[in-house]
Amino acid sequence: MIKIAVLGVGRMGREIIKQAAANFKIVATIDSPKSEFLGKDAGILSGIEPIRVTVESSENLAGILDRAKPDVVVDFTNADACAKNSKIISDKKVNMVIGTTGFTEEQMSELKNNITKNNIGAVISPNMSIGVNVFWNLVRDASKFLRDYDIEVVEAHHRFKKDKPSGTALKTAEVIAKETGKNKEEIPIHAIRAGDIVGDHTAVFATPGERIEITHRAHSRMAFVNGVLKAVKFIYGKKGIYGMNEVLSESAV
């Protein structure tokens, strides 16, 4: 059974713990030193039976990894925390699945350098949803044929989401820019933060006389968790840096 540590016990982290408990061995759960969840059983926090793993402070990350010896660390924290913690995780030779968003180019470069330098494996994606990764492929195909259309991205999330625009929207703009020869900054992104919207993303292609819209809507966080668990299985024992395309290609075989 693959041993995992979950870094970040926010909404996504707790859903991952809840769904992973049946088929993976959760050996550690870790959160910010200021977290209200420290010392609490991660299973109970996630709405399941106790798993006898309490939430610990990221201040003790190196020691936790030495003791728990996870095969894979799943990171859903924030860009600053992930950039800092990834160096410790990489130095400990532990593979990673990173769904954290909001990285600067410098942070992402440092993250990838740490992984490469330590010869470990990682899946990095701003969105682990299987559907979103299919959405990106559809957007890529449409962009090839609709280069001269007006192209904009609209995204909506719940009021508590901190990064704006979302990592998924930025990746969508990047996909469009690559196929149209534009800079990603030229692709307008409209971000909505309201209510309890889990995550909606639309690429709009418009020209006088017609409009094409490609949309993905997440109805629950399970859309993301399913992809995370596939990524954990995929990266177990591997080396190198991968995206969800490779994960989904392998699982489809």
3-state secondary structure of 118: coil
Cα four-point dihedral sign 53, 58, 63, 69? positive
CA–CA separation, 196 vs 179, rounded Å?
33
Of 157, 171, 201, 230, the catalytic one is 157
Of 25, 41, 1, nearest to 9 (Cα)?
Answer: 41
CA–CA separation, 151 vs 149, rounded Å?
6
How far is residue 108 from each of residues 203, 229, 242, measured CA to CA in Å?
Answer: 25, 22, 14
3 catalytic residue (yes or no): no
Of 18, 161, 171, 201, the catalytic one is 161
CA–CA separation, 156 vs 37, rounded Å?
28
161 catalytic residue (yes or no): yes
Angle at the Cα of 108 from the Cα atoms of 99 and 198, rounded to 5 degrees:
30
Of 124, 62, 140, nearest to 94 (Cα)?
Answer: 62
CA–CA separation, 89 vs 81, rounded Å?
12
CA–CA separation, 213 vs 205, rounded Å?
6
* Catalytically active residues, by annotation: 157, 161
